[in-house]
Structure 1
Amino acid sequence: MVSQSTLLLAGTASLALAAPIERRGNLPTPISAATAIQYLSSIPVAAESNSPAYDRDLFKHWITISGACNTRETVLKRDGSNVVTSSACAATSGSWYSDYDGKTWSAAADVDIDHLVPLKEAWVSGAKDWTNERRQQFANDLTRPQLLAVTDSLNQAKGDQDLAEWLPPLVSYQCEYVRAWVQVKSYYGLSMDSAEKAAASKVLTGC
């Protein structure tokens, strides 16, 4: 039987390791469930509006953060373990634990940086009325729990769905996910539709 270490040395860097690594301690921590419930009560309920139509280019993302590092590369270094980067700030090795499914990856190509509150979801919840500068801040926010390194296929499956439509399959993370969602929406003054708010309330009540 071939061991994991042998497989990794053989070059199967995209293998999802069975045991999760210890996560780095500098990820933004979401507000508590009690605080999220308070914030949720003050978030306005409104139907989503996609007029004018969403344009991803209006959310300038992956801007330069420091030196040669853009937002994606900064999050990869922040969320990973033992991350080694090239002179161009590209991650050449390391490990990344995905909160959405509990898997650990050893290739940056298998990890996406998810906008926890998707850009289109923000747009239809009020960001269509923002300035481009405000949208750029939202798309590159490293202070709040809005950017997270996760399994790429799950990020793609999530797309622009809200809480009523999609929750992380790892049930033990759903409470933290909703706490973060409420924090981000509250901070940016975004609305929720009625189904989304009900879904948030249901998860927070069970936290």
Structure 2
Amino acid sequence: MRPSVAPRGGVAALGVVVALLLGGCAAGLEPAATDLGGAEVDTSAAPALTGTAPAASGTALVALDTLPVKGRAPKTGYSRDQFGPAWADVDHNGCDTRNDILARDLSRTVTDPKTHDCIVLSGVLDDPYTGRSIDFRRGQTTSTAVQIDHVVALSDAWQKGAQQLDDEVRRRLANDPLNLLAADGPTNAGKGDGDAATWLPPSKAFRCQYVARQVAVKQAYALWVTRGEHDAIARVLSGCPDEPLPSGGSAPSVEGKGDPSATDPSAADEQGPFARCADARAAGAAPVRRGDPGYSSQLDGDGDGVACE
């Protein structure tokens, strides 16, 4: 029985296609992506090819990989008071932090001369979170239109290393200009204490700057990120790999303090395993991976190293 042979016409057609493709590559052109039926396929959402140039030093993407990746610790013991009085004058310029940030972020500001021009009475905010212009006017019912957001929420910081910081360092974190942005009040309220895995600014144009600032704050105060948070930040920065890491701020040297395992290898397990997956989810730690604080093989039903999936 003779083996089947492709018709000569099919071979010739295949040769033409190969020649055209090789010709296009030689000319430095990319052939149009097609499916088997010849229809064009949208490749805009395809993952980047391997072998792309690494991110440059000094970028947020490079800094992200210096942050420890661990599970979220319990919120036990958290209160706003753990970070000192709200809007303390940490830079000793005679003005509280809230008005310092309003003066920095608003345009066309009017200040109260009776307060040495500290208190901002009115101004206009080009809101980074929504892209809208907001008229600010100080008053009992109007001031909340513009709020000062902690880019890394204090509750989030508490659950990711700030418990190990001393009182003065936490006070600086709460008042650090690097961690503060004037923002639309309702949008800020909607953020709550979410991290990048659960909340990003509605304005996509600002997301690269936003997560870069989060990375800078967490690096400066030796805080960690969860796996979900790390991956969410990485996805944003993959679209802007050259986004610079913001500098400045008022963080003292806290290297190693926010990551207790840096000095005590057993400290990462102080939390102990979660008793139930419901507890892990309530703490925002699910899924919990082997090696994370809170992981337990009893919660890992399929034994793949990931519990409470």
| Normalised-by-shorter TM-score class | 0.7 to 0.9
| Paired amino acid for 2:130 | D
Question: Identity of paired residues, percent?
Answer: 38
Q: Which has the higher contact order (CA 8 A, sep 6+)?
A: 1
Q: How far has the Cα of 1:34 moved from its partner?
A: 6.4
1:204 to 233, 237, 247: 237
1:138-157 equivalence runs, <5 A: 138-142=173-177, 144=178, 146-157=179-190
Gaps in structure 2 of 5+ consecutive residues: 1-55, 138-142, 241-309
Quick check: 2:75–2:158 contact (8 Å CA) kept in 1?
no
For each residue in 1:7-56, what CA deviation from the matched residue of structure 2 results, as whole angstroms up to 9, or x when unmatched? xxxxxxxxxxxxxxxxxxxxxxxxx8961111111111111112532111
Q: Which residue number in structure 2 is paired with residue 57 of structure 1?
A: 81
CA contact (8 A) 1:52 1:128 kept: no
User: What aligned pairs does 1:17-166 form with structure 2 within 5 A after superposition?
Assistant: 35-50=59-74, 52-60=76-84, 61-64=86-89, 65-66=91-92, 68-86=94-112, 87-88=114-115, 89-108=118-137, 109=143, 110-142=145-177, 144=178, 146-166=179-199
Q: Which letter does structure 1 place at the counterpart of 2:164?
A: D
**How many angstroms does 1:90 deviate by?**
2.4
Deviations 1:155-192 (A, max 9, x none): 10001000000000001111111111111111111001
Q: Whose radius of gyration is greater, 1 or 2? A: 2
**Contact 2:75–2:155 at 8 Å: present in 1 too?**
no
Task: Decide which moves more: 150-159 or 35-44.
Answer: 35-44
Letter in 2 for 1:112: Q
- The normalised TM-score by structure 1 is 0.79
TM-score by length of 2: 0.54
CA distance in structure 1 between the aligned counterparts of 2:108 and 2:190, rounded to whole angstroms = 28
Match of 1:172 in 2: 205
Q: Name the CA shift for 1:137/1:156 in 2 (closer, same or farther; >3 Å).
A: same
The Cα RMSD (Å) is: 1.7
One-letter amino acid of the structure 1 residue matched with residue 189 of structure 2: Q
| Most deviating of 160-169 and 40-49 | 40-49
